[in-house]
Amino acid sequence: GEKNHFQKQTLWERSIKVPFLISLPSQTQGADCRALVSLMDFYPTVCRQVGLPIPEHVEGRDISILLEYPNIPWDFPVMVQNDRHLAIRSGDWKLIQCTDGTRELYNLVTDPNEFTNLADDPQHSAIVNTLAVELQVEVDRTFNNSPLENRCNVYVANTENSEIRFHTETGANYW
């Protein structure tokens, strides 16, 4: 496989990107929206569209505004996780935080195939630190209010300016 990995078990773009299509009865014409969204955003969006309250424990964001205004500025980062690692995608950048403390930083405009890891380049330390903080905010937002918190183990990786907590379902033996 690519980069010596098999199947879709990585946090690189080719493994995590999927089409996200929504069709509403009120829309007669499709629109292309380039905003970063997560599959977790689907449920709260459907709730809003059918007039149901969004339960407090729901982790995604309601993206209904993007259905009406697909070109509106949307500056929310997207967190992705697999069994061992977390990643945050914000704008043109992606930071992958591994449980062993290593990181991968990619500029997805200049390096769409994610071949050049910039995480250890001193020129990019501010971007790494900013994304690490954004990742921690997303981890806190996602897991602290979630019933998932009650059935998770927590793995802590100390980073230069923040602490990243990794969650996995109890009993998973990935660490």
Question: In this predicted model, what pLDDT tens digit does every residue of 18-63 receive, in sequence order?
Answer: 888 888 887 778 888 888 898 889 999 999 999 999 998 888 889 9
Whether the Cβ atoms of residue 78 and residue 89 lie closer than 8 Å to each other: yes
In this predicted structure, the answer to whether residue 15 has a pLDDT above a threshold of 60 is yes
Question: For residue range 132-156, what is the model confidence (pLDDT) as tens digits?
Answer: 999 988 888 776 654 433 333 333 3
The per-residue pLDDT for 25 is: 80
pTM of the model: 0.72
Tell me the pLDDT band of 4, cut-offs 50, 70 and 90: low
Query: Which among 149, 142, 148 has a CA at the least distance from the CA of 44?
Result: 142
The per-residue pLDDT for 138 is: 85
Number of separate helices (H) and strands (E) present in the chain = 4, 6
The per-residue pLDDT for 122 is: 97
Buried b (16+ CB within 10 A) or exposed e, 82-91: bebbbbbbbe
The per-residue pLDDT for 160 is: 46
Please list, in sequence order, all residues whose beta carbon lies within 8 angstroms of the beta carbon of residue 136, skipping any fewer than 6 positions away.
162, 163, 164, 165
Question: For residue range 58-109, what is the model confidence (pLDDT) as tens digits?
Answer: 888 899 999 889 999 988 888 888 877 899 999 999 999 988 889 999 999 9
Q: How far apart are CA 130 and CA 117, in angstroms?
A: 16
